[in-house]
């Protein structure tokens, strides 16, 4: 615990330092024009990056389009057409040399664990081998990935190798996007998609083989799938299950699956020189850029791979590196700086695989650790940090936090430098930190997240006693009970812990339980269409665009959309106006709204709308009767309610934790201060900020969340007030009658 606490404080320190650094380098939101305003602005920018609870599906179009402009647009064609034949490339991969024995072991065993270095060909080749061996004659081949980016890019690559159009023979399915057809026989998908499929078809009959790729990542969905697939294999003797992992930690997988055989693909790796930092690093972005420049100017050819934490750091690194190179003048050899992170639009992701005459410098999240292989990397720069989704039981939410990596991560990272020849890895931390502070292995996601959706899923799969489900590493009982509690307060589970009618419907939505509750509740209040829009708007990051040189213009435009009592209604307002303007892109541009984000919202909305249809929920709009919308929002978020302490400052009504309005909130900007609010999420930096806030009537809270709130206090207050008024009235009457009498007396 002491060690974790130390790490925690390191994280806070880094956040602060990054804060300072950003403050110096950039101009940010200047909300009130005061020092406080700009300070909050800095935080806002950083939080934007931290706040997204989902590592997937949220695109920051602004950063990317700005970057694309500064880089010029590359044609998104892989180098395939230009280089070696497909056959030659495939046969060069390490996995090819063991193809025969690999296929034999799969034929003879229903479950096989395959271990191999990253880049040995597991992801791209296994599916094709199975196809070539005839496994698709009685079903399709599914391959799961813990990351969306990997699912899409690998499907693209394999479709090229096979020589078909993407979405034809080879396709992919990720949340909100299904790129497959009846002809598809090799299907790449996120593990979440397969989990969902197992809901509708518990034996996964359409598959003849399932490859669970990147099992070492131990994503939440992977872990749940493990438990489910273990049972499916018992029922379906024809199904082949293949688990692949990049690490040597395969014994555990083997044991979990009844001592299944482990097949190791012989690696083809070169020595990597590891250089630790002598002293702890203050600012890893700056340090990484310096190191990259040093390598670029002094070292022989070979691409550079920098491991950064997340999108914001990646963009900062790219911009800084390009700036430094420009500053050094025209005589310096050029370099091609390429960002890669899960939310980067896929057309830009393809760039990292293109051949280039210039030295490439890829700046990546831990996605490049094992999910994607960039050939030609000889130099790795490792910051020692990554971003992880961590559940904070104190406030009951998941948040992305910058966290030190594990030793296993560090070794994977350095391994990336030795794929095509000897290489080197610069670790921006000391060897003492490596030995003493870093954990040996990652903590599986299941042990650090909010399990509510998993609980819903498992419940709907008729797994009665969750505490008995076969998890490879069971989550702490406390977390399971916590999630069950969250579902119970939302009405998804009954007092006995069984799925209610509401809960059964909630499983259908790939959303956080409070959001699906809102959608379902909207039916009763006849505003399903409006809530559908709000929920979809919440699935992308801020739709507002704020170019550096036109900040005040952008802010003025943003303010026009503000609905004083609700950020949710503000979002609804934006979408409605866009719709009323024929979904036009010039309307979006003129109003400083990201058109791509809006289009994504529309896509998500269409998907959710289909689910609503399948549940026979009609789409109805309540028009301008926005009070009911606020009430529906409260029905999903009453557990996130706060009461005003002073203007802009609130205290959480359940926990008593102080929290403040986010500077991007309409309520903040308009200085509107309702007594009671609910919020969508909290973001943590130095203080707890509430994001997406809506004013509510306290009586709604009592009605919707009777387990937390009662109007007793209010009644007492009202009663006191009533008695006081009654007393006053009596006094008044007395005085009046006395006066009357006196007057009467005087008259007499």
Exposed e or buried b for every residue in 540-549, given b needs 16+ CB within 10 A?
Answer: bbbbbbbeee
* Nearest approach, Cβ of residue 114 and ligand CDP (Å): 9
Under the criterion CB under 5 A, does residue 123 sit at the interface with Mg ion?
Answer: yes
375 binds, among Mg ion, ligand CDP, none (CB under 5 to 8 A by kind): ligand CDP
> Mapping DSSP to helix (H, G, I), strand (E, B) and coil, where does residue 349 land?
helix
For residue 410, the Cα-to-chain-centroid distance in whole angstroms is 23
Radius of gyration of the chain (CA): 29
CA-CA distance, 583 to 599, in Å (whole number)?
9
Distance from the first to the final alpha carbon of the chain: 89
Q: What secondary structure does DSSP assign to 249-316, as a single string?
A: THHHHHHHTTS--EEEPPP----EEEEE-SS--S-HHHHHHHHHHHHHHHSPS-EEEEE-SSHHHHHH
What b/e readout covers 253-263, taking b as 16+ CB neighbours within 10 angstroms? bbebbeebebb
Q: What is the distance between the alpha carbons of residues 741 and 237, in angstroms, rounded to a whole number? A: 101
- Smallest gap from Cβ 126 to ligand CDP, in A, equals 8
Residue reference for tokens 């022989």: 300
Q: Which span sits near Mg ion by CB under 5 A: 119-127, 201-209, 270-278, 505-513?
A: 119-127
Nearest to 379 by CA among 429, 431, 426: 426
Q: Are 677 and 641 in contact (CB under 8 A)?
A: yes
Identify residues 171-200 at the interface with ligand CDP (CB under 6 A). none
Least gap, CB of 385 to ligand CDP (angstroms): 23
Q: Which of 203, 375, 553, 717 binds ligand CDP (CB under 6 A)?
A: 375
Q: Closest separation between CB of residue 172 and Mg ion, Å?
A: 14
Which listed range, 86-94, 115-123, 279-287, 514-522, lies at the site for Mg ion (CB under 5 A)? 115-123
Nearer to ligand CDP, 91 or 610 (CB): 91
Least Cβ distance, residue 356 to ligand CDP (angstroms): 14
Of residues 55 through 94, those in contact with ligand CDP by CB under 6 A are 93
Place of tokens 């001592």: 259
Of residues 147 through 166, those in contact with ligand CDP by CB under 6 A are 153-154, 157
Rule CB under 6 A: which of 98-137 touch ligand CDP? Answer: 116, 118-125
Q: Which does residue 373 touch among ligand CDP, Mg ion, none (CB within 5 to 8 A, set by kind)?
A: ligand CDP
Three-class HEC string of 28-71: CCCCCCCHHHHHHHHHHHHHHHHHCCCCCCCCCHHHHHHHHHHH
Q: Are strands 272-276 and 359-364 parallel, antiparallel or unpaired?
A: unpaired
Out of Mg ion, ligand CDP, none, what residue 121 binds, judged by CB under 5 to 8 A for its kind, is ligand CDP
DSSP H helical segments within 57-147, as ranges?
A: 61-71, 86-92, 99-108, 122-132
SS3 686: coil
- Least distance from C-beta 150 to ligand CDP, angstroms? 8
Binds 207: which of Mg ion, ligand CDP, none (CB < 5-8 Å by kind): none
570 binds, among ligand CDP, Mg ion, none (CB under 5 to 8 A by kind): none
CB of 123 to Mg ion, least distance (A): 3
Closer CB to ligand CDP, 158 or 598, in the complex = 158
- Order of strands, sheet of 207-212, starting from the edge strand that comes earlier in the sequence: 177-179, 170-174, 186-190, 140-145, 207-212, 240-245, 111-115, 262-264
Cα separation, 655 vs 635, whole angstroms: 19
Please, what is the minimum distance in Å from the beta carbon of residue 389 to ligand CDP? 23
* Residue 96 or 708 with smaller CB distance to Mg ion: 96
* Min separation Cβ 122 and Mg ion, Å: 5
Closest CB to ligand CDP among residues 93, 666? 93
- Which of ligand CDP, Mg ion, none does residue 124 bind (CB under 5 to 8 Å by kind)? ligand CDP
One of 353, 676, 689, 700 touching ligand CDP (CB under 6 A): 353
Nearer to ligand CDP (CB atom), residue 79 or residue 733: 79
> To the nearest whole angstrom, how small is the minimum distance from the Cβ of residue 123 to ligand CDP?
3
Check residue 360 for interaction with ligand CDP (CB under 6 A).
Answer: no
Give me 211's structure tokens: 């490859």
| Residue 56 or 603 with smaller CB distance to Mg ion | 56
Q: Which among ligand CDP, Mg ion, none contacts residue 93 (Cβ within 5 to 8 A by kind)?
A: ligand CDP
- The residue nearest Mg ion at its CB is 123
Contact residues toward ligand CDP (CB under 6 A) are: 93, 116, 118-125, 153-154, 157, 353, 373, 375
Give the residues lining the site for Mg ion (CB under 5 A).
123
């Amino acid at each position: 615990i002491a060690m974790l606490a130390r790490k925690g404080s390191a994280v806070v320190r880094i956040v602060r330092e990054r804060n300072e650094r950003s403050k110096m380098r950039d101009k940010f939101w200047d909300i009130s024009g005061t020092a406080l305003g700009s300070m909050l602005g800095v935080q806002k920018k950083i939080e934007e990056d931290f706040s997204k609870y989902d590592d997937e599906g949220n695109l920051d179009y602004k950063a990317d389009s700005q970057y694309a402009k500064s880089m010029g647009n590359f044609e998104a064609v892989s180098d395939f057409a230009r280089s070696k034949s497909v056959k030659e490339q495939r046969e060069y991969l390490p996995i090819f040399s063991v193809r025969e024995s690999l296929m034999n072991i799969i034929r003879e065993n229903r479950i096989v664990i395959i271990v191999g270095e990253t880049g040995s060909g597991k992801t791209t080749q296994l599916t094709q081998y199975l196809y070539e061996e005839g496994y698709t004659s009685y079903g399709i081949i599914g391959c799961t990935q813990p990351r969306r980016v990997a699912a899409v890019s690998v499907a693209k690559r394999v479709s090229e190798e096979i020589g078909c159009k993407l979405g034809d023979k080879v396709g992919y399915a990720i949340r909100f996007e299904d790129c497959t057809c009846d002809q598809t026989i090799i299907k790449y998908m996120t593990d979440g998609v397969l989990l969902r499929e197992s809901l509708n078809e518990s034996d996964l009959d359409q598959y003849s083989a399932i490859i669970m790729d990147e099992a070492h990542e131990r994503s939440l969905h992977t872990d749940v799938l493990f438990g489910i697939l273990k049972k499916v294999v018992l029922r379906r003797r024809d199904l082949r299950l293949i688990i692949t992992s990049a690490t040597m930690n395969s014994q555990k997988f083997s044991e979990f699956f009844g001592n299944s055989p482990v097949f190791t693909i012989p690696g083809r790796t070169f020595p990597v020189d590891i250089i630790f930092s002598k002293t702890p690093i203050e600012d890893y972005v700056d340090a990484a850029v310096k190191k990259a420049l040093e390598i670029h100017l002094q070292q022989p050819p070979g691409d550079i791979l920098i491991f950064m934490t997340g999108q914001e750091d990646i963009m900062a690194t790219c911009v800084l590196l390009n700036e430094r190179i420009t500053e050094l003048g025209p005589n310096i050899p050029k370099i091609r700086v390429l960002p890669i992170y899960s939310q980067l639009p896929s057309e830009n992701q393809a760039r990292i695989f293109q051949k280039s005459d210039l030295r490439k410098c890829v700046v990546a999240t831990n996605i490049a650790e094992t999910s994607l292989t960039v050939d030609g990397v000889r130099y790795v720069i490792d910051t020692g940090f990554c971003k992880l989704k961590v559940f904070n039981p104190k406030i009951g939410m998941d948040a992305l936090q910058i966290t030190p990596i594990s030793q296993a991560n560090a070794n994977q990272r350095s391994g990336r430098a030795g794929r095509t020849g000897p290489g080197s890895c610069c670790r921006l931390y000391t060897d003492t930190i490596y030995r003493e502070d870093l954990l040996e292995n990652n903590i599986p996601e299941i042990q650090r997240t909010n399990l509510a959706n998993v609980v819903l899923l498992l419940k709907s799969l008729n797994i009665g006693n969750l505490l008995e489900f076969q998890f490879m590493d069971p989550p702490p009982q406390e977390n399971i009970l916590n999630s069950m509690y969250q579902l119970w307060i939302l009405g998804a589970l009954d007092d006995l812990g069984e799925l209610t009618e509401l809960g059964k419907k909630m499983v259908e939505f790939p959303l956080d339980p409070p959001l699906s509750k809102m959608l379902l509740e909207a039916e009763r209040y006849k505003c399903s269409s409006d809530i559908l829009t709000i929920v979809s708007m919440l699935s992308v990051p801020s739709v507002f665009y704020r170019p550096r040189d036109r900040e005040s213009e952008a802010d003025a435009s943003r303010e026009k959309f503000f609905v004083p009592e609700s950020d949710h209604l503000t979002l609804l307002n934006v979408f409605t106006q866009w719709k009323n303007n024929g979904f036009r892109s010039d309307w979006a541009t003129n109003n400083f709204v990201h058109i791509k984000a809006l289009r994504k919202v529309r896509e998500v909305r269409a998907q959710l709308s289909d689910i609503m249809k399948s549940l026979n929920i009609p789409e109805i709009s309540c028009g301008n009767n926005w009070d009911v919308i606020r009430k529906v929002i409260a029905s999903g978020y009453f557990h996130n309610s706060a009461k005003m302490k002073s203007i802009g400052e609130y205290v959480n009504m359940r926990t008593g934790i102080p929290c403040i309005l986010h500077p991007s909130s309409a309520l903040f900007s308009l200085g509107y201060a309702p007594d009671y609010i609910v919020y969508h999420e909290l973001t943590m930096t130095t203080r707890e900020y509430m994001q997406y806030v809506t004013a509510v009537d306290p009586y709604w809270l009592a009605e919707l969340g009777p387990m937390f709130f009662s109007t007793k206090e209010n009644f007492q207050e009202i009663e006191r007030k009533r008695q006081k008024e009654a007393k006053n009235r009596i006094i008044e009457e007395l005085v009046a009658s006395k006066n009357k009498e006196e007057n009467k007396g005087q008259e007499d």
